[in-house]
């Protein structure tokens, strides 16, 4: 191999390395908030929760990620557990943060049944894992923030709450009337408000029912839905008398007027927001395909994902999720499944059908090797391939010139 070829290869190897392994150069920063958390009038045996925010910044590469490690010390260290807000039931000891973005961390305080009455304190330690930078002494750099916590334990249960809003909208015949109650728990125990609804038409009672299913945690605000089926009802004007009770006391009541209209009155609109796989695809496993639909119309909408799966450009299976009724202003993830039986290049494409309308088509691709690991396609892949093609072309060109010169 002549000197020119060697020079070309030597010059392109660093480019390939930079594409495959982005470097981090530059100072990093780390912020945690709030600086203090206080839980007052906490009751033994109850659970309380707060949110902590952390932001990691890296000047040279804003897309860089880091691992944030979580732990607690002090009197209340055994009372504390950390969670990703997207999965509030699985405790974690660390969470991945993207540079330049706020990372939300859910903190739960479980007060023991034998906790002493009075004030207990502790500290939350939120710190980055090793950032790959070393000091002159060879010590790996990590960044840390702290949150001071004070919890006052009392022996008295306080059951209080406020109703901020009660609302409902007109509905098409055959679709559920959705009454929404905005409830704030202002006590120190979990609240389970009772919502009683009486439906009438032209002054005549039609139906009555109550709901006690919702449990609102201390300090939380929730929109509690109450649903009434309109199937088989007459069209026209109706009234709903809604009362909200806590304990045995009515804390709010309101009369709502609504209309049951003919089916098809309201426009259907929606957006196909995301098509994704759950987990890492592997040979011989069943993979879950998640299609997320946002209802942006004026009424509840039935939606279904319709798709196709290709392996090496050959159609192998058609997909169809179960139909789901998506409430106004909400998102729903539609699930479908395939078994990955052969290695190759996979393409999954599809759309969402919502009551006769279709969204735009979305597509995802991945490669499945003989060993079974999925290799998702990304923007860096064509760059790497392009560099390799250029490298081969240059070597071939130089070799051809040497042959002609000889």
Select from 243, 261, 279 the last residue of a domain. 261
Give the closest residue to 100 by CA, choosing from 51, 70, 65.
65
Instruction: Give the pLDDT confidence score for residue 385 in this predicted structure.
Output: 54
CA 373 to chain centre: 25
Residues 149 and 250 both lie in one domain: no
Whole-angstrom distance, CA of residue 328 vs CA of residue 384: 44
385 falls within a domain: no
- Confirm whether 386 is domain-assigned: no
Q: Last residue of some domain: 261, 278, 313?
A: 261
Domain assignment present for residue 147? The answer is: yes
Domain count across the chain: 3
pTM equals 0.62
In a domain, 389, yes or no: no
Give the β-pairing of 65-74 and 118-128. Answer: antiparallel
Co-location of 150 and 65 in the same domain: yes
Structural domain of residue 67, as residue ranges?
A: 27-154
What pLDDT, on a 0 to 100 scale, did the predictor assign at position 400? 61
Smallest Cα–Cα separation from 206: which of 237, 181, 180, 175?
237
Sign of the CA dihedral running 182, 186, 187, 189: positive
Residues 257 and 192 in one domain: yes
The answer to whether residues 202 and 280 belong to one domain is no
Q: Give the per-residue pLDDT at 25.
A: 35
Q: Find out whether 171 and 177 touch, Cβ atoms under 8 Å.
A: yes
What number of helices (H) and strands (E) belong to the chain?
2, 28
43 shares its domain with 144: yes
Distances in whole angstroms, Cα of residue 360 to Cα of each of 21, 158, 329, 347, 350 = 34, 51, 19, 16, 8
> For 395, how many CA atoms within 13 A lie in the half-sphere containing its CB?
12
Assign residue 222 the CATH number of its domain: 2.60.40.10
- Strands across the sheet with 118-128, in order? 36-43, 144-154, 118-128, 65-74, 94-98
In whole angstroms, what is the distance from residue 371 CA to residue 283 CA? Answer: 7
DSSP annotation of 356 reads T
Q: What per-residue confidence (pLDDT) applies to 379?
A: 39
Q: 294 CB contacts (<8 Å, ≥6 apart)? A: 270, 271, 273, 330, 331
pLDDT at 30: 87
**Residue whose structure tokens are 């009234």:** 239
Q: Are 198 and 231 in contact (CB under 8 A)?
A: no
* Same domain (yes/no): 115, 142: yes
CB 326 within 8 A of CB 295: yes
Per-residue pLDDT of the chain (406 residues; tens, 9 = 90+): 454 454 444 445 444 433 443 333 345 688 998 999 999 889 988 999 999 999 988 755 445 788 999 999 999 999 999 999 989 999 999 999 888 889 999 999 999 988 889 999 999 999 988 765 555 555 556 789 999 999 999 988 889 999 999 999 999 999 999 999 999 999 888 899 999 999 999 999 999 999 999 999 888 899 999 999 999 999 999 999 999 999 889 999 999 999 999 999 999 999 999 999 987 888 889 999 999 999 999 999 999 999 999 999 999 999 999 999 999 999 999 999 999 999 999 999 999 999 999 999 999 999 988 654 444 443 344 445 555 655 666 566 656 666 655 5
For the chain, what is the largest distance between any 2 Cα atoms, rounded to a whole number of angstroms? Answer: 105
Task: Please enumerate in sequence order all residues whose Cβ is within 8 A of that of 119, keeping only pairs 6 or more positions apart, or say none.
Answer: 150, 151, 152, 153
CA distances from 261 to 89, 206, 236, 330, 392 (A): 41, 17, 7, 22, 68
């Amino acid at each position: 191999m002549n000197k020119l070829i060697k020079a070309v290869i030597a010059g392109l190897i660093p480019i390939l390395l930079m594409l495959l392994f982005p470097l981090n150069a530059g100072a990093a920063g780390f912020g945690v908030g709030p600086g203090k958390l206080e839980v007052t009038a906490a009751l033994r045996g109850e659970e309380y929760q707060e949110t902590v925010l952390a932001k990691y910044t890296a000047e040279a590469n804003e897309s860089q990620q880091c691992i944030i490690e979580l732990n607690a010390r002090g009197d209340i260290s055994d009372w504390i557990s950390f969670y990703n807000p997207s999965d509030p039931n699985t405790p974690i000891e660390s969470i991945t943060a993207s540079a330049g973005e706020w990372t939300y961390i859910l903190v739960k305080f479980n007060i023991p049944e034998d906790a002493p009455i009075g004030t207990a304190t502790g500290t939350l330690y939120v710190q980055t894992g090793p950032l790959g930078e070393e000091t002159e002494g060879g010590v790996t750099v990590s960044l840390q923030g702290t949150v001071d916590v004070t919890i006052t334990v009392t022996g008295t249960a306080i059951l209080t709450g406020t109703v901020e809003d009660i609302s409902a909208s007109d509905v098409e015949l055959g679709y559920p009337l959705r009454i929404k109650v905005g409830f704030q728990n202002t006590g120190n125990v979990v609240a389970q408000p009772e919502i009683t609804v009486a439906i009438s038409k032209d002054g005549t009672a039609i139906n009555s029912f109550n709901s006690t299913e919702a449990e609102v945690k201390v300090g939380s605000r929730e929109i509690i839905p109450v649903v009434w089926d309109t199937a088989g009802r007459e069209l026209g004007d109706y009234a709903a008398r809604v009362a909200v009770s806590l304990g045995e006391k009515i804390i709010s009541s309101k009369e709502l007027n609504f209309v049951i209209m003919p089916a098809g009155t309201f426009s259907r609109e929606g957006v196909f927001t995301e098509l994704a796989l759950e987990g890492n695809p592997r040979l011989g496993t069943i993979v879950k395909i998640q299609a997320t639909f946002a209802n942006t119309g004026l009424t509840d909408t039935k939606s279904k994902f319709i798709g196709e799966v290709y392996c090496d450009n050959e159609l192998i299976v058609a997909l169809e999720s179960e139909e789901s009724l998506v409430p106004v202003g909400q998102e729903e993830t539609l699930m479908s499944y395939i078994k990955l039986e052969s290695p190759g290049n996979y393409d999954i494409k599809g759309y969402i059908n919502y009551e006769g309308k279709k969204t735009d088509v979305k597509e995802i691709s991945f490669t499945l090797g003989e060993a079974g690991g999925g290799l998702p396609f990304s923007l860096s892949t064509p760059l790497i391939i392009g560099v390799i093609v250029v490298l081969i072309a240059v070597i071939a060109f130089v070799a051809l010139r040497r042959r002609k010169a000889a």
